Each structure stands twice: as C-alpha cells, then as structure tokens.
Structure 1
Amino acid sequence: MPSKKFTKICSVCGEKAIGYNFCAISCESCKAFFRRNATKLDEYNCPFDEKCKISVVTRKFCRKCRLKKCYDVGMKQEWILNEEEKELRKNKIEENRRWRQMGHKNGKNKTDRNDSISYISTDDTQTMSISQPSPADTINSDTTESTLPANDIPDDIISDDEIITNIMEIENFLTTDNTVRDNENTNNFNNDMIFMTNSSIISKSLSSTTTAITLTNNTNFDEISENTYQKLVELELTVLPIPPPISESNGFNEVECNRLMELFEATVGTHRPRPTNKVMAHTMQEVANFFLLKFEVFIERFVKMTKCLSAFQSLCSNDQLAIVKFSCLEALFLRTALYFDYNSEHWTFIMDSNNALEFKLDLLKDSPLDGIYVTFKKFLQNLRSEWDFDPFVIDLLTVIVLFNPDRPNIIHKEIVKLQQQLYMYLLQRYLRLKYVSECESKTKFVKIMNSLEYLRHLNDIHRRNQNAKNTNHLGPLLREILDLPAVSTIQNS
C-alpha cells in the first residue's frame, strides 16, 4: 500500500491530532482531558449558556462545552480502561515482548512476526489488537486442525468499524515520529506543579529599562510611569507557583485555566444586556444623582464577586476589607469602559430592567471635581486600542486593581502582591494566546498596565474633592469608602 502523509486535525479543538483516541480523531491535550473528565459532564457548568466555541486558544476556558464537544464528535467513555483492564494490557505488552524476543533468539525472519500482530496503546485508551492465535493455542500436536470448532466464534470479536479504527491507529503508530512520544513525556512533566522563575516565560517582555521605554516611545501614548515600570520589573523577577507552558503559544495549563474560569464565573453576573429604552441625561447633576443611587448596588455586586475568588478568601479579614474599600472606586471607573461608545463618546448605563441612562463624556466638563474630564478622557483613549472591547481583559484588570498591595491598612502586603502578580501573569498569557504575535501581545500588556495609572489619579481626584466640600448627601457606603465621618457624628459635633 503506498504511503500517504497527511495531517490529522483534532475534531474537538482543531489542533494537530495524534490519531484516533476513544473512537475520535483528537490531539494529545483533548485525549487527556476526556480521559480525566469523561464522567463529569453533569458536574460542570457553563457560564455562557453552553455556547462556547472550542478552539486551541479557548479549549481550557469552559470544561462543560469542551467535554460536550468530545461526546459530540464521537468519543466513547466505555473505551477508557479501568484498573483491571490496565493490568491486562500490561500483561499483554509483556507477553508480546517475550514473544518477539523468542522469535529473535530462534533466528526467525520478519514473516514470523505476522503470526502475532498486536498494537497496544501506550496510555489508558482501549486496548486494540489484531492478532492470530499462537501455534501452541491453535494447533494440535498430531494434526493441523484447529482446536476451535468451526461454529465456535468468539462473542467479543470486533466489528468492522472497530477494525478500521484499529488500522488507523496502527498506521498512525507506524508513521508518527519520535517527537510525539517525546511530547507525551513532556506533558506528564507539565502536569506536576513546580515553582518557576517568571523571567523564563516573559524574559523578553521587559528585560531592561530600555525595552520598556522603547515600547511606549514608539507610540502616541504617555511614557510608562515609574509605578507601572516597577510592577513589571517585579513581575519578571518574581517566583510564581505556576507550571511552565511547553511553549508560550500553547494553551492554558490546568492551574491557569482554573484561575481564569473562577474569575470569569465570578464576573459573569456583571455583564448584563442593556435595555433598549434609553433616557438622555442633559446635566451633570442628573449624572451625579444616578451614581449616588447606583453606587451601593455596584459595591454589593463587587463584594459578591470578590467573595467568589479563592485568592480573596485566602486573605485575612483585615486585608479583605482594606483592598475592597480602597479599590472599589478604581474598579468602578475601569468597568465604565464596558459601557462607553467611542464613536459618539457617550456612556450607556443600566438604570433598571427596562431603562438605560445615556450621557456624553463632555458633561464631565461641568463636574465640580477638578481634572475629572481630562483624566477620564485620557484613560479611555489610552485603553481604547489595547483592550479591543474584550470583557475578559476588563475582568482580569479588575482583579489586578483589587489586589493592589499599595493600599492603606494592609497587614500582609507580600501575599496581596503575589495575588496581583498571578493575575498580571494570567493577563499576559491571555494576550499572548489571543494575539499570537509575541511583540504585539507584550506591547499591549505594557500599555494596558500603564493605563491603570489614570484610575489612581481619578481615585485621588474624588477623595481630594469630596473631603473639601459638603458631603451630607452621600450614602453610608460611599462615606465609608471615602473615609468620611458618619452624618450623625457631624451633626453631634
């Protein structure tokens, strides 16, 4: 049969496949995923109504949709070996090895090997073999008649479809070069949690001051701030408890995927459809009244989101209170980008289930908060070309803003800093996989991180101006956030 070389594509995620696994063409990653999770379809939940598109980049975002697609393309749970079958497979391998060794010692040629042709998978897939009985089992010592009666056909003989599958497996086994088997060993190593120096992953992203400045000087944005530069340098030199990817273009590993899925599930409630009925605000006072009413709702949702994060739960109660209190304003400013229309320069915020409030950026010119318009406009302009209207980027930036070790009253600053660096690393990995280009993803990462400085300035503007004016109209939560005394305390004094 003439040899054919063709590239098999994984029917689940589209990556280069290694052959048939569990009755479907798949890659090594999807094969391992199905083997580990085949029985868990009902345990997983999809935060996106089971409409996730599974690809090489997104396959680790949603286990529910990935596993569902595994079944849709034909993977079969019954082809996964149990412990007893694994032991039988192991014994079969040893038997075949001894048979080949005996044939070699007796000087038999290659035709003898056709008397026992077996293919045993190197992992936990269903054992598949096409074999002829050995002489000892089939031939009587006095005659050439088979010991099996003509009508005694085994019940477990495989079907035509299974034979075709087996042939494809054997073809793949014979044509696959050693790099596939080397990758299996690498994948096994990758599954072990190890501590690594982050510089081995991002060593080229910000290796020196010159590199960082070059990224920003080649654009129209402001130069990188000293605070941002310090954080990026610390990230490069920090040891993070993240398993290393085989290459930067590979998908997320299990640890990264778990963190991202936890975050996206926690923030899914914040991404709500906007009502079609819209009310236009014409004065700054209308806008201020709207935010005074909605601020308490935002804080409640923000706190609910943080409580869903294991990283937040790992902090002491003092540090939990500190980072929520001093980050919620910046998180609010950041997430307004989700509702901003850059073409007409206006926001559309949800008032209730039926109505939305629209107001233009220019209204901020009339705000009593000095510098609010210029700073907000610069923030939106700097962020515009970098986040590409991707809500996942905003979600990652939200927790980066949350876990800021520079907040006041934090006791365990190093723990908070580590959590922030982990999410910075995940943002960097997400951008790398999304944009493929190493140069583009690194540039975007630095610019996005630098844009967060405007949030700090906006926070300072609010706190500085509110402390200098009458604030009796502010609610109790906002007063607590701005470190203002309670109204009753003011009246008593």
Structure 2
Amino acid sequence: FSPRPQEEEEDDASTSCGTGDDDDDGEPKICRACGDKATGYHFNAMTCEGCKGFFRRAIKRNLRLSCPFQNSCVINRNNRRHCQACRLKKCLDIGMKKELIMSDEAVEQRRALIKKKQQLCQPSPGLLTSTFTEEQRKLVTDLLDAHNKTFDFNFVHFRNFRVIVGRDLWLSQNSSTEHYPKTSVVCPHDFWHTAVDSSYSLETARGCAWDSSSKEYLMLPHISDLISYMIKGVIDFAKVIPYFRNLSIEDQIALLKGSSIELCIIRFNMVFNVEKRIWECGSNTYSFDDLILAGYRIPFLEPLIHFHCMLKKLKLHKEEYVLMEALSLFSGDRPGVCENQVIDGVQEFFAMTLMAYIETQRAPSQENRFLFAKIMECVTELRTMNEEHSKQILHIWDIQPDSTPLLKEVFSAFSD
C-alpha cells in the first residue's frame, strides 16, 4: 500500500454520511489520529480531512499493512505518512468504524441527491420562472391592445393646444443650454398661420390665460396642454385593463393620481431620440430648452434626460414597455389606496410576467441577463422622478398659475 499524497488532503464530505457533525462551540477541534486541525466527526471519530481520506482508502482497498518498526510509531501531523500500518491502527483505536464507509454506488446516489437539492434551493439569478404561460401571454396581448388604443404615437389627434408665441425669438437671444440641441415646436398648419398672421400677435397673447410678459414661461401653456393630453391617454389605458376595473372607484382614482406622470414619462420615452435628445411627438418636437421655457429647472431636467437615455438604451420591446406601465400603475403604496394587498398581488403577477417574457422571448445574452433588474430599477427611479416633477409643477404654479383642470386634479394629491 503506497501513499498517495495528492489524495491525502482531499475533501469528500459525501463519504462521511452518518457520522454526525461536531457542534460549533468556538473551540478549535483537533484530529484524534494525528493532531491536525479537525473538520468534524468522520466515520464516528473527530478527524481531519487527511485521516478521513486515508481511512476510507485503506479500508476499501483491503490491503495488508505492516509496520517496518515495532508497531509503536508515534503518529502526528508531520510523520503520519511514514507508517500507514500504525496510522490505520490509530484510526481504529480512536473509534473509526469501517462499516460506516459508503459503497461507490451509495456515494454516487448521495452526490446526485445533494446536487438536485442545491439546484432546487438555488434558482438561476434574476429569473424565477422558465415558462411563459397562456395566462401571461393573454395578459401581454390585452395590455398591448389597450396601449395601442390609447397612445397616439404620432400625436395626430393632439390639435387643440395653445400656440407658442415669441419662443424662437427668445431662444435666439437667451440660451442657457448650449450643450443641448435646439429644435422648434412646429404647430399644425392652421394654428401656425394663425400665430404668424398679424391677427394673432404677442400683444394678443397677453390677453390669454397666462402672463406672457414673463418670457420664462412662454412654453408653460403648451406643455400643460401636452401633459394633459398624455394623461387622458393614460386614464383610458387604465380603464381598459380588467384588473383595474375590478378595483373600487376610490382605489382607481388613487392609483391614477399617483402614477399618471410615471406612465407619461414611460410613453414619452417611446418617442425620445437619444442622439438628438429630443422628444419627437409627431410633427412637434420638444427639447431641453422647451422645458426650461415652461418653468422647469435644470437640477430636475438633467436627471430627467439621463433617465430617458438610460431607459431608451435598454432597447425595450413594446411588450416590455406596456408591462412597465402596468407595474407603475399597480403600486399598492400610493396615497389613498385601500386594497393594498390586492394591488400588490396584481403587481407581482405583472412582474413575474415580465420575467417570463424576457426569459422566453429574448435571446440569451449577457446584455439580457440583467434586463429585468434594470427595468425594475427604472420603475423605482420613476418614483423619484414623479416626486421631483410634482415639486417642480407646484413651484411653477406658485409663481405662474397656469394649468388645465385635469393637471390640477392630478397634482392635488401632492399639494395636500
């Protein structure tokens, strides 16, 4: 029986089944065979990994061992390989039992059982489902249908808005955002001619519902109309969803008040041009400067632009966009919500559907591996954007009270 140093220290915990584990009381454990650091009870005795492996191999090979000296060798950590006969005798003397050694077949069965248990306890990171059920498929189809019916992607029906007077002249003389590209808001043909003709001038605009003498708010009426138009689409979107219609009227109102701006931001992202950093709303385009002219401040606008760039670069499918809208809509912690658990349960189902969609409908890649986590991060970030946007709106109204009745209703929850 020749020593095999490369196997001497091997660890195969599966072969020490049935011997029990040592209680961890903080005290160092010593191998009773050689004095090395012990790892627990193996084959009924406290031993190190080396002696455990040695005992198993010696018994399984059933070889006759003899001591070249007087069968009285001292076995310790440094010389335990010098006399295997005395080492085996020491193992038996401390109570190691050969009947506790498992057969090769039993070892393989145990290893397979351990592996199966580990797989059950440790699912793939980030994705907890591997199938896209028929119920989830129908949900995505219904959400897509609701989205397509309520989102005017080309803004062809955005018509009855207040026109913008004097904006281009102001921008040509006052530009505080030179690092952002400038674009003009192109009004529909009939409105633009009305504004250009002498019959509709800057003087005429002073008679409207806003104070145009404050050039800083030239875009405020138009942006208010634009946001109101988007919110109307969001309300229609929610009303088409069965899960939403099943809620009480009070909860429906609370969810819409709390999430409308978040859903608008998601929809605006679908028309956001990352390269030009503008929102392409059909024949109208809006830039960083336009929002400044509506009264928004740069400390809010820069994170807003960053968010839109971050979300747009995920290259989401329309299905993922609509599921993101649904996740934002169904948030049980909105102010005024009563059926929190019901709403949270619906939101969880939407989240599981999003995970299943990503796993089954996207090609496996490093980029897609963490897509669900990135989308959920964006959903969380939307809450911050919503709160900051509401503060901006309320601040603007304190200085320049101009808004639509719908906007006042939506933001009433934040002004209470």
User: What TM-score, normalized by structure 1, do the two folds share?
Assistant: 0.44
Q: 1:300 aligns with which of 222, 232, 255?
A: 232
Q: 2:137 aligns with which of 244, 252, 257?
A: 257
Whether contact under 8 Å (1:376, 1:454) holds in the other structure is: no
Tell me which residue corresponds to 1:404.
331
Provide the rounded CA distance (Å) in 2 between the counterparts of 1:454 and 1:266.
Answer: 24
Tell me which residue corresponds to 1:288.
220
Tell me which residue corresponds to 1:312.
244
Provide the rounded CA distance (Å) in 1 between the counterparts of 2:330 and 2:337.
Answer: 11
User: 1:259: Cα distance to partner?
Assistant: 0.8
For the structure 1 residues 385 and 391, does the alpha-carbon distance in structure 2 shift closer, same or farther, using more than 3 Å as the test?
Answer: same
Q: 1:420 aligns with which of 347, 352, 368?
A: 347
Q: Tell me whether 1:478 sits opposite 2:402 in the alignment.
A: no
SS of corresponding position for 1:348: strand
Provide the rounded CA distance (Å) in 2 between the counterparts of 1:202 and 1:394.
Answer: 29
Per-residue CA distance 1:438-460 (angstroms, 9 max, x = gap): 75434011111112233222211
Whether contact under 8 Å (1:346, 1:358) holds in the other structure is: yes
User: 1:257: Cα distance to partner?
Assistant: 1.6
Whether contact under 8 Å (1:364, 1:372) holds in the other structure is: no
SS of corresponding position for 1:347: strand
Q: Tell me whether 1:205 sits opposite 2:86 in the alignment.
A: no
Gaps of 5+ in 1: 1-198, 208-235, 237-243, 351-355, 487-493
> Within 5 Å, which residues of 2 pair with 1:51-66?
none
Q: Tell me whether 1:347 sits opposite 2:269 in the alignment.
A: no
Provide the rounded CA distance (Å) in 1 between the counterparts of 2:339 and 2:413.
Answer: 25
Give the number of equivalent residue pairs. 239
SS of corresponding position for 2:412: coil
For the structure 1 residues 378 and 272, does the alpha-carbon distance in structure 2 shift closer, same or farther, using more than 3 Å as the test?
Answer: closer
Larger Rg: 2
Provide the rounded CA distance (Å) in 1 between the counterparts of 2:241 and 2:414.
Answer: 31
Amino acid at match of 2:331: N
Whether contact under 8 Å (1:296, 1:477) holds in the other structure is: yes
User: 1:368: Cα distance to partner?
Assistant: 3.6
SS of corresponding position for 2:359: helix
Q: 2:375 aligns with which of 419, 440, 448?
A: 448
Tell me which residue corresponds to 1:380.
308
User: What TM-score, normalized by structure 2, do the two folds share?
Assistant: 0.51
Whether contact under 8 Å (2:278, 2:287) holds in the other structure is: yes
Q: 1:334 aligns with which of 241, 244, 266?
A: 266
Amino acid at match of 2:404: G
Tell me which residue corresponds to 1:75.
none
Per-residue CA distance 1:158-194 (angstroms, 9 max, x = gap): xxxxxxxxxxxxxxxxxxxxxxxxxxxxxxxxxxxxx
Whether contact under 8 Å (1:266, 1:305) holds in the other structure is: yes
Whether contact under 8 Å (1:266, 1:309) holds in the other structure is: yes
Whether contact under 8 Å (1:284, 1:367) holds in the other structure is: yes
Amino acid at match of 2:153: R
SS of corresponding position for 1:467: helix
> Within 5 Å, which residues of 2 pair with 1:192-271?
203-206=123-126, 248=130, 252-269=132-149, 270-271=151-152
For the structure 1 residues 392 and 471, does the alpha-carbon distance in structure 2 shift closer, same or farther, using more than 3 Å as the test?
Answer: farther
Provide the rounded CA distance (Å) in 1 between the counterparts of 2:414 and 2:302.
Answer: 29
Amino acid at match of 2:238: T
Amino acid at match of 2:313: S
User: 1:365: Cα distance to partner?
Assistant: 5.4
For the structure 1 residues 426 and 284, does the alpha-carbon distance in structure 2 shift closer, same or farther, using more than 3 Å as the test?
Answer: farther
Provide the rounded CA distance (Å) in 1 between the counterparts of 2:387 and 2:409.
Answer: 15
Provide the rounded CA distance (Å) in 2 between the counterparts of 1:364 and 1:478.
Answer: 16
Q: Between the two structures, name the one with larger relative contact order (CA 8 Å, sep ≥ 6).
A: 2
Provide the rounded CA distance (Å) in 2 between the counterparts of 1:308 and 1:415.
Answer: 18
For the structure 1 residues 267 and 464, does the alpha-carbon distance in structure 2 shift closer, same or farther, using more than 3 Å as the test?
Answer: same
For the structure 1 residues 271 and 429, does the alpha-carbon distance in structure 2 shift closer, same or farther, using more than 3 Å as the test?
Answer: farther
SS of corresponding position for 1:483: helix
Amino acid at match of 1:482: F
SS of corresponding position for 1:280: coil
User: 1:389: Cα distance to partner?
Assistant: 4.9
Gaps of 5+ in 2: 1-118, 157-182, 187-214
Provide the rounded CA distance (Å) in 2 between the counterparts of 1:316 and 1:461.
Answer: 28
User: 1:380: Cα distance to partner?
Assistant: 1.5
Amino acid at match of 1:319: D
For the structure 1 residues 364 and 295, does the alpha-carbon distance in structure 2 shift closer, same or farther, using more than 3 Å as the test?
Answer: closer
* Aligned-residue identity in percent: 18
Per-residue CA distance 1:65-121 (angstroms, 9 max, x = gap): xxxxxxxxxxxxxxxxxxxxxxxxxxxxxxxxxxxxxxxxxxxxxxxxxxxxxxxxx
Tell me which residue corresponds to 1:99.
none
Whether contact under 8 Å (2:126, 2:370) holds in the other structure is: no
SS of corresponding position for 1:482: helix
Provide the rounded CA distance (Å) in 2 between the counterparts of 1:449 and 1:319.
Answer: 23
Provide the rounded CA distance (Å) in 2 between the counterparts of 1:465 and 1:344.
Answer: 24
RMSD: 3.1
User: 1:485: Cα distance to partner?
Assistant: 11
SS of corresponding position for 1:321: helix
For the structure 1 residues 485 and 315, does the alpha-carbon distance in structure 2 shift closer, same or farther, using more than 3 Å as the test?
Answer: closer
Whether contact under 8 Å (1:378, 1:454) holds in the other structure is: no
Amino acid at match of 2:125: S
Provide the rounded CA distance (Å) in 1 between the counterparts of 2:138 and 2:274.
Answer: 33
Provide the rounded CA distance (Å) in 2 between the counterparts of 1:202 and 1:338.
Answer: 36
SS of corresponding position for 1:267: helix
Moved more, 286-295 or 371-380: 286-295
Q: 2:356 aligns with which of 418, 423, 429?
A: 429
SS of corresponding position for 1:296: helix
